[in-house]
Amino acid sequence: MSHPGTAARPVRVVLTDANVLYSRVLRDYLLYAADQELIFITWSAEILDEMTEHLQANVASFTAESSQRLIKAMNNAFPYAQVAITAEALSEVAELDLPDEDDRHVLAAAVAAEAQVLCTSNLKDFPTDVVARLGANVMHPDLLLSWLVRDKPDEMHLVHDTAVARLPGATDASTVAALRRAGAPATAELMARILEPLD
């Protein structure tokens, strides 16, 4: 896996929220996009804990051991991705007016990562004007991924191929369907068009 120092800096530093990483297909697409150096992906320990907490609560086969394996795999693959939420970052977001107080740590992680993009499915919990004060843009994963597909179709084709290859039983069609179910219909449509000549 790639990381800063081995190639040119990726186009965007992206802080991924737990609700995005929770989805297998969205997580895979973003991780493999980072491996293609289309983005520089970041998260915090708190975000990973929130992701695995919800996976354990909602997926019967996902255990505490599964959580440890997933977190270890992500951090081993992207050793520069995890950022520590510093006191300075917490101070910078302390007075911001947020709909949900529980999301303040996500903003602090974005500050610590110097993220240009905060990728989240919960747009209403991160007002655009509030996040803009921190120098970042809020983007739904469908918007981010569809932008990447339009901008770098060949690389995103490889991202898709990798996602299919590394999930036992997955096909092009099942992966595109999974994107739609995960709330990324625009990305699914664009990928379907790219894949169509191969059918």
Q: Mean per-residue pLDDT for 142-161?
A: 96
CA atoms of 7 and 35, how far apart (whole Å):
11
| Torsion of the alpha carbons at 106, 108, 113 and 118, rounded to the nearest 10 | 40
> For residue 151, which of 190, 189, 121 has the smallest C-alpha distance?
190
Q: Where do we find the tokens 């981010």?
A: 144
pLDDT of residue 197: 62
Q: Which amino acid is at 182?
A: A
The string of pLDDT tens digits covering residues 8-38 is 444 689 999 999 999 999 999 999 999 999 9
The string of pLDDT tens digits covering residues 106-126 is 999 999 999 999 999 999 999
Instruction: Tell me how far apart the 2 most distant CA atoms of the chain are, in Å.
Output: 53
Token representation of residue 123: 């747009």
| pTM metric for this prediction | 0.90
Q: Where are the domains of the chain?
A: 13-140, 144-198
Confidence of residue 82 (pLDDT cuts 50, 70, 90): very high
Q: Where does residue 158 rank: exposed (0-12), middle (13-18), buried (19+ CB within 10 A)?
A: middle
Confidence of residue 84 (pLDDT cuts 50, 70, 90): very high
CATH fold of 13-140 reads Rossmann fold (3.40.50)
CA atoms of 112 and 106, how far apart (whole Å):
10
